[in-house]
């Protein structure tokens, strides 16, 4: 048993007061890089499916990663800087930063674990001061994005698979930590929330709120 605790954070609508995936598509439309008519409706439908717990993650990632394959990485990285300033920074709350800082100050192993692809989310985790990110990983070939995905998408049970893989690579397992926290807003994360010792519902959706009340889980707001 390690003396260090583990703190896992969902990103969208948990640490962020909004959804980085959904807003990335809107940002690309606003930048004239995606056709508004064809893209907007599909983006809305995928978001509704996610909230209902019915998202086809493979189809969604195909949709979400395709634009990455249409531009050089150097251009995308520049674009992401603009996205951070214009869209993401206003979604980063003081309460969320304070929570992360509290866990870091305690010496906890902090990890952002999100279904959103790691191109979009890695700079956001870094901005919060979290070194470790586990996200759905876009496939790369010769330094450029292919539009495909590599490995297991970090969605629902996929989050359990990926955190176990990640810890195993470090020579660790979940049970090594006396206390393991997972902060999330979404019922899609119940599989992983049920595995940690301290699940915390954050500005939770209706299904997760009901589950948290039934199982006497702490509920907080980072807004």
Cα dihedral 15, 73, 154, 112, rounded to 10, equals -30
Angle of CA points 28, 31, 32, to nearest 5°? 90
Residue 41 and residue 141 in contact, taking contact as beta carbons nearer than 8 Å: no
CA distance 140 to 133: 18
CA distance 122 to 112: 9
Contacts of 178 (CB under 8 A, 6+ apart): 1, 2, 3, 5, 197
Handedness of CA 193, 194, 197, 200 (dihedral sign): positive
CB atoms within 10 A of CB 38: 9
Q: From 97, 163, 102, select the one nearest 134 (Cα to Cα).
A: 163
Q: From 30, 27, 63, select the one nearest 47 (Cα to Cα).
A: 63
Residue 136 and residue 115 in contact, taking contact as beta carbons nearer than 8 Å: yes
What is the set of active-site residues? 10, 12
């Amino acid at each position: 048993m390690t003396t260090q605790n583990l703190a896992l954070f969902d990103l969208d609508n948990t640490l962020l007061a909004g959804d980085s995936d959904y807003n990335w598509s809107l940002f690309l439309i606003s930048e004239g890089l995606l056709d508004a008519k064809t893209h907007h409706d599909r983006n809305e439908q995928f978001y509704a499916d996610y909230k209902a717990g019915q998202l086809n993650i493979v189809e969604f990632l195909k949709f979400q990663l395709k634009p990455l394959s249409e531009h050089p990485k150097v251009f995308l990285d520049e674009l992401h800087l603009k996205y951070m300033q214009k869209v993401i920074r206003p979604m980063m709350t003081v309460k969320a930063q304070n929570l992360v800082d509290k866990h870091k100050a305690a010496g906890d192993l902090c990890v952002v674990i999100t279904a959103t692809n790691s191109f979009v989310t890695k700079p956001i985790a870094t901005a919060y001061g979290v070194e470790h990110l586990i996200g759905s990983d876009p496939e790369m070939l010769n330094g450029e994005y292919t539009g495909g995905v590599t490995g297991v998408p970090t969605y629902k049970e996929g989050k359990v698979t990926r955190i176990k893989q990640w810890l195993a690579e470090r020579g660790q397992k979940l049970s090594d930590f006396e206390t393991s926290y997972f902060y999330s807003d979404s019922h899609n994360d119940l599989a992983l929330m049920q595995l940690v010792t301290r699940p915390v519902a954050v500005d939770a959706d209706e299904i997760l709120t009901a589950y948290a009340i039934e199982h006497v889980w702490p509920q907080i707001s980072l807004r």
